[in-house]
């Protein structure tokens, strides 16, 4: 028995050492960029490539993240429906007021508050993998040019917003200025500069372009993506937000 515990302890120690080594040798410092005209010009080109103007006019969005979180979003009124496991939450993502259900039973008070917070944290994370390229000029952002791989890349830092303000994202684009990868310096990941792809771009209503998969340390897929001028138009004629 003692020998078994000793072997387990050794394995755990080796894993810890391997993790520390990985963090040490993989992590990269946040590069310093140059703000100004060049950064704003590159931002313009990215926004034109993905059709930012058309995206801004879209009212309703639906998508599924990693096959388990299902979203319906009225982005003009800041209303979100999130469904996962046996839960459904319908809420305002500015006020965090709404309703929550588990197994079709309406939750009250503390349970409802917890469910709404969980839904909102998931929405902030999951939706960012869908729409981050459309958020380059959100309030509280700064942009700068950084040279990466012998090309100009766009660093975007978020001073406010979402669940983890203060994060930085470095965008590398293809010859058409469509994002192809980003490198991350974010609070929830202890390794700086990890790279994830933006690929499988698809064209939706009004020529809006959205990446539907990402590959890197983890692989992600976004499915059942719909965008439209109303919630009813993308949700079989049903508007769940009348309950709010």
Digitized pLDDT (tens) for each residue of the chain, 244 residues in all: 444 434 443 344 334 434 433 444 457 888 988 999 999 999 999 999 999 999 999 999 999 999 999 999 999 999 999 999 999 999 999 999 999 999 999 999 999 999 999 999 999 999 999 999 999 999 999 999 999 888 999 999 998 655 456 799 999 999 999 999 999 999 888 888 899 999 999 999 889 999 999 999 789 999 999 999 999 999 999 999 998 8
Query: What confidence score (pLDDT) does residue 17 get?
Result: 39
Query: What confidence score (pLDDT) does residue 23 get?
Result: 44
Let me know how many helices (H) and strands (E) the chain has, helices first. Answer: 5, 14
Alpha-carbon distance of 80 to 83, in angstroms, equals: 10
Q: Is residue 92 part of a domain?
A: no
Q: Is residue 137 part of a domain?
A: yes
Q: Is residue 25 part of a domain?
A: no
| 55 Cα distance to chain centroid | 16
Q: Is residue 200 part of a domain?
A: yes
Where on the phi/psi map is residue 104: left (φ > 0), alpha (ψ -120 to 50), or beta? Answer: left
**Residue 60: other Cβ atoms inside 10 A:** 22
Domain span at residue 220 reads 33-67+124-243
Instruction: Name the β-bridge partners of 65.
Output: 69, 222
Q: Is residue 223 part of a domain?
A: yes
Q: Is residue 22 part of a domain?
A: no
Q: What is the number of domains present in the chain?
A: 1
CB proximity list for 54: less than 8 A, separation 6 or greater? 205, 206, 207, 208
Q: Is residue 84 part of a domain?
A: no
Query: What confidence score (pLDDT) does residue 165 get?
Result: 63
Q: Is residue 128 part of a domain?
A: yes
User: Cα dihedral angle (206, 207, 211, 212), rounded to 10 degrees?
Assistant: 60
Alpha-carbon distance of 211 to 198, in angstroms, equals: 6
Q: Please say whether the beta carbons of 91 and 116 come within 8 A.
A: yes
Closest among 233, 232, 225, 194 to 63, alpha carbons compared: 225
């Amino acid at each position: 028995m003692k020998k078994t515990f000793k072997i387990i302890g050794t394995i755990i120690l080796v894993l810890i050492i391997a993790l520390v080594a990985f963090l040490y040798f993989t992590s990269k410092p946040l590069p310093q960029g140059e703000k100004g005209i060049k950064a704003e010009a590159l931002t313009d080109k990215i926004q034109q490539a993905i059709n930012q103007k058309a995206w801004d006019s879209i009212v309703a969005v639906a998508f599924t993240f990693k096959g388990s979180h299902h979203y319906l979003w009225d982005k003009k009124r800041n209303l979100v429906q999130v469904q996962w496991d046996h839960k459904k939450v319908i809420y305002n993502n500015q006020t965090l007021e709404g309703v929550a259900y588990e197994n079709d039973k309406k939750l009250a008070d503390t349970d409802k508050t917890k469910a709404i917070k969980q839904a909102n944290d998931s929405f902030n994370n999951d939706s960012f993998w869908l729409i981050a390229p459309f958020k380059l000029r959100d309030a509280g952002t700064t942009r700068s040019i950084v040279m990466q791989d012998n090309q100009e890349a766009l660093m975007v830092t978020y001073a406010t917003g979402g669940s983890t303000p203060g994060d930085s994202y470095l965008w590398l684009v293809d010859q058409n200025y469509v994002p192809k990868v980003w490198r991350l310096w974010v609070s929830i990941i202890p390794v700086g500069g990890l790279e994830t792809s933006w690929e499988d771009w698809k064209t939706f209503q009004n020529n809006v372009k959205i990446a539907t998969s990402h590959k890197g340390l983890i692989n992600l897929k976004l499915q059942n993506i719909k965008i439209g001028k109303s919630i009813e138009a993308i949700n079989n004629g049903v508007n769940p937000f009348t309950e709010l």
